[in-house]
A and B are shown apart, each in its own frame.
Chain A
Amino acid sequence: MLRFATLFLTWLSLSGPAMAQQADAPIQRLLQTHSDVLLESSRRTIGPAVDALANSGLPEAQVVLDKWQNKEMWVDEETGLFVYAEEIDRDTLRIYDFADGTEIGEVPDDAFDQLKPNSGIRGLIATALVQFQLSDPDPDTRRRALDAIERGAEESHLAALRVSLPNETDDTIRARKDRLERLLTIRYGETDAERITAIQSFGGDLSVDVRAALNPLLAVRVEAADALPDAPDIGRVLQPGSEALPRDEAYELLVGADLAKPRISREDQRNALVANISDGQVAGVQVATLDSQAARDMAYAALAEQGTVTAVATEAEVDDRLASHVFYERYIGAPPEVVAAAQLALQAIENKVHVNQAIDLGLDALSLASIYFLAAIGLAITFGVMGVINMAHGEFIMMGAYTGYVVQLFIPDYTLSIIVAIPLAFAVTFGAGVAMERLVIRWLYHRPLETLLATFGISIALQQLAKNIFGTQARPLTAPDWLDGSLVINDIVSISYIRIAIFVLALLFLALFLFVMNRTRLGLEVRAVTQNPRMAASMGINPDKINMLTFGFGSGIAGIAGVAIGLYAKVTSEMGSDYIVQSFMTVVVGGVGNIWGTLLGATMVGSLQKGIEWLNPSNTLAAQTYMILFIILFIQFRPKGIIALKGRAAEA
């Protein structure tokens, strides 16, 4: 064979320009040794060949595997020598020698056969390649190899990892390799002891991949038996009819294990009965009488007696069979000791996960609370301080958001546009608030129900106006890039920057409110007018002006809140009404006339809603419903809110 090949080579070298192939290079020899299996290309028999290549220690083996995997390995039909090649065009190949990678020349492809490994074989090759990649001098290649293993780990990777681990020079890569090695040991470790050690090494690790590695170990199969077997791999005992094991499923299990007679579905029973109708009767029963389940059961039983259909279990038999068996889970994922260790480890992780979920939930609640606070703070001023119910407050929020949207139409830079939008939104809604106070509210002081109705009218009109101008579809208010993304603390706890920004904004507003009310002349006058307008007027304060400014201030804050909320949610003409009831709830729950109450109210409403959402994550509508119900009940017991004013001040 070899001699023949040499001869052929000689012939080749004569016929081609630079056609010389090292037929006796070690790699070529190795390939020739496994030539038969290579050419057979069968998933069943290829194993030894791949192993031989992988374990040959030859540096060229990687190239071979690589090319083979990419379907670039060809075999010379006559000599049987393997080469790799590029297809230059449909008929021509440029072939290379595996031994040293030199180009042999361009040849017609008639004389060569391409090796076409199927996907199974390619998988084997890829696995074999990993060990080369793991020890590749290029760190990027090593990282890519680790990525690949993380995506789809296989048993053989474990050995490869272990081989490459001692020689790793890069610290971070070594850490990754080490971690991956332990993860794979959990899955594929040979002895229970090493698997348990690996499991224990992950105590309290929150990463998803640890849980992904541990969970399969706890896989169970539900089994049924007359009595509970006394074996170490038995898990929970299940009650048929419980949530974990519905009655039908339990019975199916018995049927599947040949422990009970099959049942028949109502539909099959009906079909069987229909199939056996003759002369208006089924097994001697008049068809017209088969209008109840009991009658049909009897008719079917009669058919079964005749032998026309197979007998099925009656409900009584089903109950009897279920009662006389025990249903239990058997651990099939791992040996019992490993299961125990995994359970312990998972328990520790779960505990930590719960703590972190609670933190995450808390952050969520906090950011929702900030939004409610932002929406409510303007109300706290107009309603709480002035006692004016402004049902159009939600529409002021909407106006602020639309102002932001319009600004972004003119200023494409998102950062700049937000900086412009915030004062502009304040100005627009301040103006709207002042106009509303002058035109409507001031005629209605001390007539709260009428104020409520008149502002409803304004709210309806403004909402429709926004619809007419901006259309019904949602408009985007885009946050600048630096607000994109989230602050990720671990796999569970993360919070988006925009929520942090809203939280900060809420704090700023709180500070602004406190400053204006307690440290400025305006705040002093506002408090004076609130407490005793006549006295304030006699001291030279113009209550009209103060009321106007206060109302404008409250409305302006609503406008800024609108920009913030618009960044977080979509801008629509109805966005105001989404917040108005919650905002009023926030103010009322907190206690009217007290900013700290509003803060507490927002915190309570926000955390309540998030809490309920957490209990029932699929349904935010239900969360809102229950939250409102809770607030209605809360107001029953603290009608004046969390922070209640007492005495004459409360009655003013």
Chain B
Amino acid sequence: MTDVSLPRREPFALRFPSVMVFVAILALFTVGVTILSEGFGIGVISTSFVKTLGKTLCLCLVALAMDLVWGYCGILSLGHMAFFGLGGYAIGMWLMYARTEIIVLESLAAAPLPPTPQEVSDGIASQIFGVVGASEFPPIWAFAHSLPLQLLAVVLVPGLLALVFGWLAFRSRVTGVYLSILTQAMTLALSLHLFQNDSGLRGNNGLSGLQNLPGQSDVSQDIVSLWFFWGSALALGLGYLLCAWIVSGKFGSVIRAIRDDEARVRFLGYPVEAFKLAIFTVTAVIAGIAGALYYPQAGIINPAELAPIASIYLAVWVAIGGRGRLYGAVIGAAFVSLVSTWFTGGQAPDINLGFYTISWVDWWTVLLGLSFVCVTLYAPKGIGGLVDILIDRKGPNRHGADLGPDQGALREQEADK
């Protein structure tokens, strides 16, 4: 036996201070927003901005998922916004059904005869599907009446899709850019499917009126927005803890190893495919939950939300925030989505060049695209890299040599310890 010092088993929180810092900041932020809100506080922050902040928290959660699957496991999935959208659709179906049911029951209550179940169902169906010229419930709405079942669907639908797709893709050793393109194709197929009127989800009309909670019509949106804000904050906090726990132990060690050199991990005897599948599925479920919290705050979901470009933006957020570190994903999602809102919302002042006026509504996307290129080229650590500078930690100096044994993989320094 030697007297080599081995890491002591300190409490989780102490070993990973960034987690505690994050949770504390999130808690402070939540309390702060509540105090400043219109619903329960002094009304400095408008209800619509509370919704924006709540939505941003959901985006941070899905960015966390993306970071786990991409930053840690090296799978550049261009399908996680599709899982996000599926979660939104799952909860949206119940919201729309339950609210329409209340309206239909009210209108039928005035009829001379009490309504039969069939009449109620027909009434709801024609209300919901009138826009696509249908009047019957498609089979996928079979569980829409039940909140618990649809909540289950929020988890199961993205989870199962990820499981099946991931099993197929990983089993045949599709990796790297091929996998990215394949996930993009999956996303495209899904959004094209949803765009059809006979998809059973109202085609390109999508689901709307989701901001109204069934049975809570007397509660004002000021209050509802805060409920969802708290829910989103809680989900983000729990999601962060879960992700931090996953990446902290040997599991995290293995998935980072998979990212860096998949073949080597295989020769160590780890079933790489099972690990990838597990991460892919878990992050899809997280994305689904994030979507289920997001869309009631957005109020409407349509197939455009699932288009491949959305998933690409997700990758952009994580890259700008700094992948391979959980808080990087959160920072990236929050920063880019809020700045995007600011620019595209028309609040940003236009720049008058004399001969041409740069209107940010039009030019923001150009700027975003180019800044993304710059981040990829010059600051692969993203905004999170600033934290390293702040606490003065540098990676090993490799004198410009490629990181890792194989060319092709850039290996970021881990930041969680």
Complex: A in contact with B (CB within 8 Å): yes
Interface residues of A (CB under 8 A from B): 266, 270, 273-274, 277, 287-293, 296, 389, 440, 443-444, 446-450, 452-454, 456-465, 467-468, 577, 581, 584-585, 588, 619, 621-622, 624-625, 628-629, 631-633, 635-637, 639
Cα(A630)–Cα(B118), bound, Å: 39
Interface CB pairs A-B, < 8 A, 16? A291-B114, A296-B113, A296-B116, A444-B377, A447-B408, A450-B410, A453-B76, A453-B319, A454-B377, A460-B309, A581-B188, A588-B181, A624-B192, A625-B193, A628-B186, A639-B174
B376 touches A454 (CB 8 A): yes
A446 touches B192 (CB 8 A): no
- Residues from chain B with a CB closer than 8 A to the CB of A461 are 365-370, 373
- Residues from chain B with a CB closer than 8 A to the CB of A287 are 112-114
Out of B177, B373, B407, name the residue touching A389 (CB < 8 Å).
B177
Cα(A452)–Cα(B319), bound, Å: 12
In this complex, what residue of A is CB-closest to B361?
A468
How many inter-chain residue pairs (CB < 8 Å) link A and B? 161
Out of A288, A292, A448, A465, name the residue touching B177 (CB < 8 Å).
A448
A577 touches B309 (CB 8 A): yes
Interface of A is mostly: helix
A621 touches B370 (CB 8 A): no
Cα(A274)–Cα(B178), bound, Å: 65
Q: A454-B373, A457-B316 are in contact. Are A632 and B365 (CB under 8 A)?
A: no
Which residues of B from 344 to 370 have beta carbons under 8 Å from A? 362-363, 365-370
Q: State whether the Cβ of B182 lies closer than 8 Å to any Cβ in chain A.
A: yes
Residue tally, chain B, CB below 8 Å to A: 58
A444 touches B376 (CB 8 A): yes
Cα(A274)–Cα(B309), bound, Å: 55
- Residues from chain A with a CB closer than 8 A to the CB of B168 are 632-633, 636
A460 touches B113 (CB 8 A): no
Interface of B is mostly: helix
- Residues from chain A with a CB closer than 8 A to the CB of B173 are 639
A453 touches B189 (CB 8 A): no
- Residues from chain A with a CB closer than 8 A to the CB of B119 are 266
- Residues from chain A with a CB closer than 8 A to the CB of B178 are 588, 635, 639
Out of B195, B315, B373, B410, name the residue touching A447 (CB < 8 Å).
B410
Q: A440-B373, A464-B363 are in contact. Are A621 and B113 (CB under 8 A)?
A: no
A450 touches B372 (CB 8 A): no
- Residues from chain A with a CB closer than 8 A to the CB of B198 are 619
- Residues from chain A with a CB closer than 8 A to the CB of B113 are 270, 273-274, 287, 290-291, 296
B362 touches A467 (CB 8 A): yes
B380 touches A636 (CB 8 A): no
- Please give me the 5 A-B residue pairs with the lowest Cβ-Cβ distance, nearest first: A461-B369, A457-B372, A460-B369, A464-B365, A291-B114
Cα(A637)–Cα(B173), bound, Å: 10
Cα(A389)–Cα(B409), bound, Å: 15
Interface residues of B (CB under 8 A from A): 74, 76, 112-119, 165, 168-169, 171-174, 176-178, 180-182, 184-186, 188-189, 192-193, 195-196, 198, 308-309, 312, 315-316, 319, 362-363, 365-373, 376-377, 380, 402, 407-410
From A290, A460, A584, A629, residue with most partner B Cβ within 10 Å = A460
In this complex, what residue of B is CB-closest to A449?
B76
Out of B180, B193, B371, name the residue touching A449 (CB < 8 Å).
B180
Out of A460, A464, A588, A629, name the residue touching B189 (CB < 8 Å).
A629
Cα(A468)–Cα(B368), bound, Å: 15
- Residues from chain A with a CB closer than 8 A to the CB of B117 are 291-292
B28 to A: closest C-beta gap in Å:
33
Out of A289, A296, A443, A452, name the residue touching B377 (CB < 8 Å).
A443
Q: A287-B112, A636-B168, A637-B172 are in contact. Are A440 and B189 (CB under 8 A)?
A: no
A465 touches B366 (CB 8 A): yes
Cα(A289)–Cα(B74), bound, Å: 63
- Residues from chain A with a CB closer than 8 A to the CB of B76 are 449, 452-453
In this complex, what residue of B is CB-closest to A628?
B189
A449 touches B182 (CB 8 A): no
- Residues from chain B with a CB closer than 8 A to the CB of A460 are 309, 312, 365-366, 368-369, 372
Out of B174, B196, B362, name the residue touching A464 (CB < 8 Å).
B362
A450 touches B373 (CB 8 A): no
In this complex, what residue of A is CB-closest to B368?
A460
B114 touches A625 (CB 8 A): no
B309 touches A277 (CB 8 A): no
From B118, B195, B408, residue with most partner A Cβ within 10 Å = B408
A632 touches B192 (CB 8 A): no
B112 touches A274 (CB 8 A): yes
Extra contacts, 6 of them, besides A274-B113, A584-B181, A621-B192 (Cβ < 8 A), are A290-B116, A296-B113, A454-B376, A457-B368, A631-B185, A635-B178
- Residues from chain A with a CB closer than 8 A to the CB of B368 are 457, 460-461
Out of B171, B373, B402, name the residue touching A457 (CB < 8 Å).
B373
A449 touches B177 (CB 8 A): yes
A585 touches B372 (CB 8 A): no
In this complex, what residue of B is CB-closest to A457?
B372
- Residues from chain A with a CB closer than 8 A to the CB of B369 are 456-462, 464
B168 to A: closest C-beta gap in Å:
5
B204 to A: closest C-beta gap in Å:
10
B169 touches A628 (CB 8 A): no
In this complex, what residue of B is CB-closest to A273?
B113
B114 touches A632 (CB 8 A): no
- Residues from chain A with a CB closer than 8 A to the CB of B181 are 581, 584-585, 588
Cα(A619)–Cα(B369), bound, Å: 34
B177 touches A452 (CB 8 A): yes
In this complex, what residue of A is CB-closest to B407?
A446
Cα(A458)–Cα(B171), bound, Å: 32
Cα(A274)–Cα(B111), bound, Å: 9
